[in-house]
Amino acid sequence: MRLKDLRQQTNHPLSVKPDLWAAAVVLGEARRRMNEETRYENRDRGSEINELVDLMGAFGELVLFKIARRCGASAEELDKMANHMFLPVTGREVLGADLLFHDPDVHKLVGIDAKAFDYRDGKHYFAINQKQHQRLSRDCDFYIPILSPRHARSVWVATLIPHTQVDEWKAWPLGKYGDPSHNLPLSVFHRRYVSPQCDIDALRADFHDSDQVQELASSRQIQAWLGKLVPAIKPYL
């Protein structure tokens, strides 16, 4: 896999089947159940928002997995990424970028971390948690923003953001949840990293039926596929 191939997949829309959202529901729910036991009180946003945060995190990684496979990532690289999706530890203990691959053009490992953004009402910043950003400093070279309203039929894969650029964003806590984040106003984010062809309103207007997604998430087919992809999740299915 080459970084140049990954770049060619950015600033383009990507169609998403309801199956992928359903898999994200299952993966996100398993993570949420594990995190609920140890989630810091000041990080508890309430069950509805906790569920959405875990859903979007899982969805972003599954989309990146799809892109990496399309770009020719090796079986070993894909296997490592899949195993990284669900580890028997809390989220704050998970270390490392979502995807690591050896780029023969630069003769080094390249780390990519997925950041899905849901565009729900009231959001004014593209934010990256400061502590997580610091923990990723050793092996994350780029963030890949995946712009996706919940259950959207298409997502927009934005330009790769170098990890070092995020250091330059101002950091402060958003809301009442304690941890500071590096925050970039959405107007600036779009100008820097999103092609003018991206129509967010169109993405928000075209989405899969929520009941269909939930029904698929309960199906044996989706759970079997996810259990094969991420063996450590089987006890939580």
Query: Strand pairing partners for 126?
Result: 184
* Residue pLDDT, tens place only, 104-140: 999 999 999 999 999 887 789 999 999 999 999 999 9
State whether residue 102 is helix, strand or coil. strand
Buried b (16+ CB within 10 A) or exposed e, 96-128: bbbbbbebeeeeeebbbbbbbbbeeeeeebbbb
* Residue pLDDT, tens place only, 211-225: 999 999 999 999 999
d(CA 132, CA 145): 15
Confidence of residue 89 (pLDDT cuts 50, 70, 90): low
Cβ-contact 141, 111 below 8 angstroms: yes
Distances (CA, A) of 37 to 85, 118, 205: 19, 25, 36
Confidence of residue 226 (pLDDT cuts 50, 70, 90): very high
* pLDDT of 23 over the 70 cut: yes
Centroid of chain to Cα 165 = 19
Identify the domain containing residue 67 by its residue range: 3-236
* Residue pLDDT, tens place only, 166-210: 999 999 998 776 689 999 999 999 999 999 999 999 999 999 999
**CA angle at residue 181 from 177 to 184, to 5 degrees?**
125
pTM for this prediction: 0.93
Query: For the chain, how many structural domains are there in total?
Result: 1
